[in-house]
Amino acid sequence: MVGHGSRRREANDDVRQAADRIAEYGSFSIVEAAFLEIERPGIKEGIDRLVQLGAGEIIVHPYFLSPGRHTRGDIPLEVQESAKAYPEISFRISEPLSAHPLVISASVERIRQTIYDLGPTEPRTRKAKKGTVYLVGAGPGDPELLTVKAHELLRSSDVVIYDYLVNPDILSQLPARVERIYVGKVGGGSQTPQSEINSLLIACALKGQSVVRLKGGDPFLFGRGAEEAEALQAAGIPFQIVPGVSSALAVPAYAGIPLTHRDYSSSVTIFTGASGTTGNYQSPGSATADTLVILMGVKHLQEIAMDLMARGRSADTPVAVIRWGSYDGQQTFTGTLSSIAMLAQEEALRAPAVIVIGEVVKLRERLKWFEETLSTCREELVAV
């Protein structure tokens, strides 16, 4: 009897036990287990063993459920090669079990046993642990870009402490029992001090609550997630990081702008347009990548453009500013380094927005799938 062979011991033991059961129930005088690969004995070794035990006729039974490459190709070829050494012995190969009525019957029995004997089982889910803080990325806005792990933790948590850029649709899906605490920061508007947020996270965890700290985008990319993790670590609070889909990657994609392309860009730099301490623009140490992605920079767009041109970027370099990326109200404005600031002023552009600079912006005219999808949906609604 030939099994596939596995690095898992229990799988190989199953083949050997099945061979013993077949010998017992079938009243066959000699039954040997062999393996196609990985485990020993191989097919040739199994056949040699049968011959040594006096076999005059050998039936090779593939311990496989369905016909395929192994049962139709690999096993017959190995048996044929091994048989050359024993021309006086008859060799035959049985069919795999496939959809044999007894296989179907046994499968139905196992299914019913699972339903009635073992009872229904819940799918594996991740439940938020009491006294633990989860720093979770909410993605760029579209609720469908929330990760499975983030979704499960949100639904099983006691309290969610969230930012301004978290889509309200995500919060609306939470169970009613989950407490929601807003600690957002709005540029030029209300601010929740970071020290207050850190203290709140620690206090909730010390009360034995499971805490999700929900941040727009990814918590470790301009999200102050590291500062909060440091505060939790210093306080002895268990924490986990749950990465999110960053707006630096997702928003350009929703605008039809790939950050890399073999013909246009082989490097990307992501930087902030506003210092975390002063809020002012600070020229990045390096801005030589083919594609630049700037977060939190729309307020300083003219200063950014002037700085990049002074550092050698062509005034004709394409630029895109994408506001509320991945939301139904997404807006994308394109220009060049020399024109984008004036355009932004004319359109009264405000945060939140992602700025993309580089030749890849040109591809938007062919790849702007999301806004065209929204346009089609609006047309269909009007028609209805």
Residues with catalytic roles: 163, 185
| Gap between the Cα atoms of 228 and 234, Å rounded | 10
DSSP 8-state symbol, 12: H
Residue 301: φ, ψ to 5°: -60, -45
Sign of CA dihedral 357, 358, 360, 361: positive
Sign of CA dihedral 285, 287, 292, 296: positive
- Taking the CB of residue 281, how many other CB atoms lie within 10 A of it? 20
Residue 265: φ, ψ to 5°: -150, 130
| Gap between the Cα atoms of 38 and 60, Å rounded | 19
334: number of CA atoms within 13 Å, CB side? 16
Q: At what angle do helices 225-234 and 194-206 cross, to 10 degrees?
A: 50
First to last CA, the chain: 65
In DSSP terms, which residues pair with 167 in a beta bridge?
none
Cα 197 to Cα 225, 227, 229, 244: the distances in Å are 11, 10, 12, 20
| Gap between the Cα atoms of 147 and 126, Å rounded | 12
Structure tokens at 380: 């269909």
